[in-house]
C-alpha cells in the first residue's frame, strides 16, 4: 500500500504519494503537534496534545486536543487563514493522517487522570482529587493531571497557616453542643469511604438529625458537611428524600468520598418520610457492602461510596430504623447558631481549607490502610458483642471513635497543644461519643417499650397513680370543672375512669407515645380496658364533652397478670 508523504511549503501543506511526482495542495497551513501525552484513566488510555497551526503570516494553537475531537473540529470558527482545500472531506482525512504520523513518531509520556472525586490510585499509590485540586504524594508529583471537566470548584484561604486553621477548627467542633462534633466526624468517615470499602469494612449505619420544622437542622448539616461549592447554595451534596435509588446513584457519583445528605424537606413528614428515607439509604448502603440492593441500578450507575446523613422532622417509631444509625435529636428550640456563626464570620472557605489540609495529611500517611484495617476490624467485631444491648449501634459508634482518633492524631502531628491538653481533648471527644451511645440506648429502650402490647395500659396506669392527671370523683357521670378526668364506681363495684380525650392524647404524646384512636382501640379494646360508646367509637359523649372511658378495675387486673 502506498504511503503518503506530507510536505510543508510557504503557502500550505502538500501531499505526494510514493512513485508519483505531482504534489497536491491539502490546506493553507502546517499543523505541528506539541505537549503530547497519554492520559490514563479507569476507562482506558487517550492521547491528548496541543496542535499549532501556522502559515507564513498567522499562527493559532488548539489546546488539549484528542483525535476524536479533531474529527469534530468546526473549521468555520477558525480565522480565514486556516482552511482546507477542496475536496474538503478527503483533505480532512489527510489532515488527521498527518497528525497521527506526528504522534506515532513521538515517545509519549504517560500522565494519569482521576476518574472521580475522592481517592484514586496510580500503581497501588493513593492520591485524592479534592474538587478541582489534586492532593498527591511526592512520588506522584508531575504524573497526574486534572480532568478536563471539573464540576466542583474549591477556593482555599491562604492567609492563615495550617496550624492556625486547625486551631480555629477546634472552635467549630464545640460550636453546637452534641451536634457539631459528630457531624464533623461524619465528614471524616465520608473522606474514608472508598478506602474503607476497599478494605471490605464500612459503617453500615448512618447519622440522623431529627428536629421540628425550621429548627435549622438542614442548614447545620449542609454547613458542616459540605466539602465543595460552599458558595453555590450548598446544593452539591444534598439529595431529596423522595429520590429514587437510580436518581440518587447517578447524582452522587461526583460526591465520592464525602457526605451525602438525604434531606427531608421535599416530602411529607411522619412515618412515610422516615420509611422512604430509610429505604433509600439502606438500598445505597447495601449495594455498597454486599453488592445486593433493593433498588434497580442501570448499566451506567454505580453503588454509592459516601457516608450518609439524613434529616427528619418526626422521631423514629421503629426499633429497626433507630438501630441502624445514630440519632442526633434537636430540642424544642431552634438550634443556636451564634457560636458557629462567630466561627464562620470573615472565614471565607476556611472549612474547605481545613478539610483540604486534613485530607493532604491522610494522603501522605503511608500507613493509613494498616491503621484502618486494625481499627475497622475492631469496630466490626467488637469484643463481647453478644453481651451488648445493641452491637450494631456500638459498631457504628466505634467508627466515630476511629474518626475522632484520626482527627486528634492530625492535631498532634501539627503539635497543636501540649501533651496534657492533647490528652484532655482526646478524653473529651471520646466522652461525647460515649454519651451519644448511651442516649441511643435510651432511645432504643423507649422504642422497645412502645412495642410492648401493654404500653398504653401501663402508661395510663402510671399517669393515674403518679397524679400527673388531675382525677376527681364524680357521681353525676360528667366532667367537673378544672379536671383532666373523673372516676366513679358502678353498682357491681367496678371502677371506671373517664378522661378528657384531648388531654389524654396530648399527655401520651408528651410521654413519647404517638397515640391515635385506632391504636387505643387496637390495644385496649380486646382486653376489655376500653369502654366504647354504643356505636363502637373510642370517644364518648359524656355530659356534652368527648371523653375516653376505661375500666380501671380491668386495667389493674391485666397489668397484675403480666
Where are the domains positioned within the chain? Answer: 4-111, 162-448, 455-560
For residues 54-65, average pLDDT:
93
Tell me the mean pLDDT in the region 395-409.
95
Architecture of domain 162-448: 3-Layer(aba) Sandwich (3.40)
Backbone angles phi, psi at 76, to 5 degrees: -70, -10
Residue 292: is its pLDDT beyond 50?
A: no
**In this predicted structure, what is the pLDDT of residue 399?**
94
Between 552-560 and 455-466, two packed helices, what is the crossing angle to 10 degrees?
Answer: 120
The grid coordinates of residue 25 equal 495542495
Location of C-alpha cell 438525604 = 262
Round the average pLDDT of the chain to a whole number and report it: 85
Cα(279)–Cα(16) distance, rounded to whole angstroms? 68
Dist. CA 452–CA 131, nearest whole Å: 50
Residue 296 has pLDDT above 60, yes or no: no
The per-residue pLDDT for 7 is: 92
Say how many Å lie between the first and final Cα of the chain, rounded.
97
Distance CA 346, CA 137 (A): 32
Nearest to 55 by CA among 76, 34, 27, 22: 27
Query: By CB neighbour count within 10 A (0-12 exposed, 13-18 middle, 19+ buried), where does 235 fall?
Result: exposed
β-bridge mates for residue 84, sequence order: 27
pLDDT in tens, 40-53: 877 788 899 999 99
- pTM of this prediction? 0.71
Please confirm whether the linkage preceding 159 is cis (ω < 30° from 0).
no
Among residues of the chain, what percentage have pLDDT more than 70? Answer: 88
Q: Which of 103, 104, 96, 108 is nearest to 13 (CA)?
A: 96
Q: Which of 288-302, 491-505, 536-550 is predicted with the least confidence, judged by mean pLDDT?
A: 288-302
Which ranges of 9-58 does DSSP label H, i.e. alpha helix?
Answer: none
Cell of 527: 382486653
Find where cell 496510580 sits. Answer: 122
Q: Identify the weakest region by mean pLDDT among 305-309, 372-376, 389-393.
A: 389-393
Residue 300: strand, helix, or coil: coil
Nearest to 320 by CA among 434, 218, 450: 450
Cα–Cα distance, 355 to 360 (Å, whole number): 8
Q: C-alpha cell of 556?
A: 389493674
Name residues whose C-beta falls within 8 Å of residue 362's C-beta, 6 or more positions apart in sequence. 128, 191, 192, 368, 406
List the strands of the sheet with 125-130, edge to edge.
Answer: 118-122, 125-130, 133-135
- Closest Cα to residue 228, out of 407, 362, 357, 349? 349
Amino acid at each position: 500500500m502506498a504511503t503518503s508523504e506530507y510536505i510543508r511549503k510557504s503557502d500550505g501543506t502538500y501531499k505526494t504519494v510514493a512513485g508519483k511526482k505531482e504534489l497536491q495542495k491539502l490546506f493553507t497551513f502546517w499543523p505541528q503537534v506539541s505537549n503530547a501525552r497519554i492520559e490514563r484513566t479507569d476507562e482506558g488510555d487517550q492521547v491528548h496534545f496541543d496542535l499549532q497551526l501556522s502559515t507564513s503570516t498567522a499562527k493559532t494553537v488548539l489546546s488539549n486536543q484528542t483525535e476524536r475531537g479533531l474529527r469534530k473540529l468546526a473549521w468555520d470558527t477558525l480565522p480565514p487563514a486556516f482552511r482546507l482545500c477542496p475536496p474538503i472531506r478527503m483533505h480532512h482525512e489527510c489532515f488527521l493522517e498527518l497528525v497521527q504520523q506526528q504522534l506515532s513518531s513521538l515517545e509519549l509520556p504517560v500522565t494519569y487522570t482521576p476518574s472521580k472525586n475522592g481517592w484514586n490510585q496510580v500503581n497501588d499509590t493513593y492520591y485524592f482529587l479534592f474538587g478541582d485540586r489534586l492532593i498527591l504524594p511526592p512520588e506522584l508529583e508531575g504524573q497526574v493531571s486534572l480532568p478536563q471537566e471539573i464540576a466542583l470548584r474549591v477556593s482555599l484561604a491562604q492567609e492563615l497557616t495550617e496550624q492556625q486553621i486547625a486551631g480555629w477548627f477546634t472552635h467549630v467542633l464545640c460550636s453546637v453542643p452534641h451536634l457539631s462534633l459528630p457531624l464533623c466526624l461524619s465528614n471524616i468517615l465520608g473522606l474514608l469511604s472508598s478506602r474503607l470499602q476497599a478494605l471490605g469494612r464500612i459503617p453500615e449505619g448512618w447519622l440522623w438529625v431529627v428536629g421540628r420544622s425550621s429548627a435549622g437542622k438542614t442548614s447545620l448539616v449542609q454547613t458542616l458537611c459540605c466539602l465543595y461549592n460552599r458558595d453555590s447554595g450548598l446544593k452539591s451534596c444534598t439529595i431529596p428524600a423522595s429520590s429514587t435509588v437510580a436518581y440518587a446513584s447517578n447524582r452522587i457519583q461526583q460526591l465520592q468520598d464525602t457526605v451525602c445528605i438525604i434531606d427531608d424537606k421535599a416530602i411529607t413528614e411522619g412515618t412515610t418520610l422516615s420509611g422512604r428515607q430509610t429505604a433509600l439509604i439502606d438500598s445505597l448502603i447495601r449495594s455498597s457492602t454486599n453488592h445486593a440492593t433493593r433498588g434497580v441500578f442501570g448499566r451506567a450507575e454505580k453503588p454509592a461510596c459516601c457516608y450518609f446523613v439524613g434529616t427528619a422532622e418526626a422521631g423514629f417509631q421503629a426499633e429497626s430504623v433507630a438501630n441502624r444509625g445514630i440519632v442526633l435529636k434537636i430540642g424544642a428550640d431552634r438550634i443556636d447558631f451564634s457560636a458557629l456563626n462567630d466561627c464562620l464570620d470573615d472565614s471565607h472557605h476556611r472549612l474547605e481549607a481545613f478539610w483540604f489540609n486534613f485530607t493532604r495529611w491522610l494522603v501522605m500517611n503511608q500507613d493509613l490502610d494498616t491503621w484502618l484495617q486494625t481499627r475497622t476490624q475492631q469496630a466490626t467485631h467488637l469484643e463481647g458483642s453478644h453481651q451488648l444491648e445493641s452491637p450494631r449501634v456500638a459498631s457504628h459508634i466505634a467508627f466515630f471513635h476511629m474518626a475522632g482518633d484520626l482527627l486528634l492524631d492530625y492535631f498532634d502531628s501539627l503539635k497543636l497543644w501540649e501533651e496534657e491538653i492533647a490528652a484532655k481533648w482526646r478524653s473529651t471527644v471520646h466522652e461525647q461519643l460515649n454519651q451519644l451511645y448511651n442516649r441511643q440506648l435510651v432511645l432504643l429502650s423507649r422504642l422497645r417499650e412502645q412495642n410492648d402490647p401493654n404500653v398504653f395500659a401501663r402508661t395510663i396506669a402510671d399517669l393515674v397513680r403518679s397524679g400527673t392527671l388531675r382525677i376527681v370523683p364524680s357521681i353525676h357521670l360528667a366532667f367537673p370543672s378544672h379536671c383532666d378526668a373523673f372516676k366513679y364506681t358502678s353498682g357491681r363495684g367496678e371502677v371506671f375512669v373517664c378522661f378528657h380525650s384531648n388531654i389524654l392524647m396530648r399527655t401520651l404524646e408528651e410521654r413519647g407515645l404517638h397515640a391515635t384512636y385506632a391504636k387505643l382501640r387496637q390495644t385496649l379494646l380486646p382486653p376489655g380496658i376500653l369502654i366504647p360508646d354504643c356505636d363502637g367509637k373510642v370517644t364518648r359523649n359524656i355530659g356534652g364533652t368527648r371523653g375516653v372511658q376505661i375500666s380501671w378495675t380491668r386495667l389493674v387486673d391485666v397489668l397484675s397478670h403480666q
